[in-house]
């Protein structure tokens, strides 16, 4: 089991002929993701290097392929529109990798997405979402997987399916930071802990799914034995998520907040911090999460061992 996507999810790439779109579409195909096509306006009717059909519009792609999820690599000025095009075409899981979308575009996109309650947005400015597949051959970065669904830019080989995990346990991972997500994945994999699904929710101030919506889904997923939550300085999301966990979740949670040593004078315009009324430093968030009974890591290098201890996995005897 997993959340949001699995090995049978049909995926298209918006912006499939761009450099990043093409590179990462191939990465997803190689991982075993059921890529069914792509969209680049004006290139409809062609096929990409993987033999995938290219369409002019998302609605055409959905009609022809039955795509349920989309991976967006459209450049920032047009990415907001691409998200709404996907929602309007009936795509269920919209995953926007694009970095650098103007904040005001995302304010409007979020408001317009209210009209599409069946679509969820992941990102933007995120690594994407992955439900790991089973390893069928090879080792390390040469490993071959099947039955998984990787939508995004994360290196697939660092992930472990629950069935392949030595401990027999798997965690869900939710993170605001891309590369720090890989860190958590790698550390759990090395300790013999698998991942059900890993979601990078993105670093932008206005974005799609947040911690609580994903905690809820991981809480309901019977295969998810624990949850790793990775936050950052700024905003109140982690603090609110901590309270939600305390009130609603019985699964163990390990958390890390990046930026404890970030210089305070360097944050964005000070009025942003005033709205929440509370302190949004890393230390304040770590304290708030601890108060909610969550295992908070002091160091980013102990994400895996902290999670293992919370789940009762013997971290001293890795797979």
Partner 1 sequence: MKIHEYQARALLSDGGVPVPDGAMVETVEAARETAQALFDAGTSIVVVKAQVHAGGRGKAGFVKVVSSVDEAVEAATFMLGNTMVSPQTPPEGIAVTQVLVAAGVDIERELYVAITTDRMRRTNSLIASAEGGVEIEQVAHDRPEAILTVPLHPLDGLRAWQATDLAFKLGLTGKQVRQFTAVCMRLAEVFLNTDASLAEINPLVITPASDAHSDGQVVAIDAKFNFDDNAMFRQKAIADCFDPAAEDPDELRANQAGLSFVSLDGDIGCLVNGAGLAMSTMDIIKLHGGEPANFLDVGGDASQEAVTEAFRIILGEDGCKGVLVNIFGGIMQCDRIAHAIVAAAEEVGFTVPLVVRLEGTNVEAARVVLDEAATRLPTMITATDLEDAAAKVCQAVATV
195 makes contact with partner 1 (CB under 8 A): no
Q: What is the greatest pairwise CA distance in the chain?
A: 57
What's the closest the beta carbon of residue 60 comes to partner 1, in angstroms? 28
Give Cα separations from 248 to 120, 251, 279, 302 (angstroms).
Answer: 22, 9, 24, 25
Interface pick for partner 1 out of 298, 312, 317, 319 (rule CB under 8 A): 298
262 makes contact with partner 1 (CB under 8 A): yes
Question: What residues from 75 to 104 belong to the interface with partner 1 (CB under 8 A)?
Answer: 76-77, 97, 99-104
- Angle made by CA atoms 10, 136, 169, in degrees to the nearest 5: 85
**Choices 53-61, 164-172, 179-187, 242-250; region in contact with partner 1 by CB under 8 A:** 179-187
- Going by their DSSP bridges, the two strands 128-131 and 194-200 should be labelled as antiparallel
The 132-151 contact track toward partner 1, x by CB under 8 A, reads: --------xxx---------
Active site residue 270: yes
Question: What residues from 205 to 224 belong to the interface with partner 1 (CB under 8 A)?
Answer: 205-206
Interface pick for partner 1 out of 59, 155, 223, 287 (rule CB under 8 A): 155
Q: Which CB atom, from 113 or from 166, has the smaller least distance to partner 1?
A: 113
Cα 319 to Cα 312: distance, rounded to the nearest angstrom: 15
Tell me which DSSP letter residue 266 carries: G
End-to-end CA distance of the chain: 22
- Angle made by CA atoms 110, 173, 242, in degrees to the nearest 5: 75
30 makes contact with partner 1 (CB under 8 A): no
- Going by their DSSP bridges, the two strands 226-232 and 170-175 should be labelled as parallel
Cα 319 to Cα 317: distance, rounded to the nearest angstrom: 7
Question: What residues from 45 to 74 belong to the interface with partner 1 (CB under 8 A)?
Answer: none
248 makes contact with partner 1 (CB under 8 A): no
From 117, 270, 274, 316, active-site residue: 270
256 makes contact with partner 1 (CB under 8 A): yes
Question: What residues from 300 to 319 belong to the interface with partner 1 (CB under 8 A)?
Answer: 300-302
**Choices 34-42, 54-62, 80-88, 267-275; region in contact with partner 1 by CB under 8 A:** 267-275
Cα 305 to Cα 98: distance, rounded to the nearest angstrom: 32
Catalytic residues: 270
């Amino acid at each position: 089991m997993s959340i949001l996507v699995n090995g049978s999810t049909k995926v298209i790439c918006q912006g499939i002929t761009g450099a990043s779109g093409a590179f990462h579409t191939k990465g997803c195909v190689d991982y075993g993701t059921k890529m069914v096509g792509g969209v680049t306006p004006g290139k409809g009717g062609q096929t990409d290097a993987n033999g995938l059909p290219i369409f002019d519009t998302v609605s055409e792609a959905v009609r022809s392929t039955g795509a349920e999820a989309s991976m967006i690599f459209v450049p920032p000025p047009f990415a907001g529109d691409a998200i709404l095009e996907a929602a309007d075409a009936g795509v269920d899981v919209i995953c926007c990798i694009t970095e650098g979308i103007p904040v005001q575009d995302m304010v409007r996109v979020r408001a317009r997405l209210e009209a599409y309650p069946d679509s969820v947005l992941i990102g933007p400015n995120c690594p994407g979402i992955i439900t790991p597949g089973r390893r069928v051959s090879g080792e390390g970065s040469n490993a071959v997987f099947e039955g998984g669904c990787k939508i995004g830019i994360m290196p697939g080989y660092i992930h472990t399916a629950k069935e392949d995990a030595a401990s027999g346990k798997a965690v869900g991972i939710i993170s605001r930071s891309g590369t720090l997500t890989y860190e958590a994945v790698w550390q759990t994999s090395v300790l013999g802990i698998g991942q059900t699904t890993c979601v990078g929710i993105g670093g932008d101030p206005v974005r799609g799914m947040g911690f609580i919506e994903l905690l809820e889904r991981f809480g309901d997923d019977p295969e998810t034995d624990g949850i790793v939550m990775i936050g950052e300085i700024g905003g109140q999301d982690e603090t609110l998520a901590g309270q939600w966990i305390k009130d609603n979740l019985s699964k163990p949670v390990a958390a890390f907040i990046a930026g404890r040593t970030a210089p305070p004078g360097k944050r964005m315009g000070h009025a942003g911090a005033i709205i929440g009324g509370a302190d949004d430093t890393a230390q304040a968030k770590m304290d708030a999460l601890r108060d909610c009974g969550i295992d908070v890591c002091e160091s980013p290098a102990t994400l895996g061992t902290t999670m293992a201890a919370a789940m009762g996995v013997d971290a001293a005897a890795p797979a």
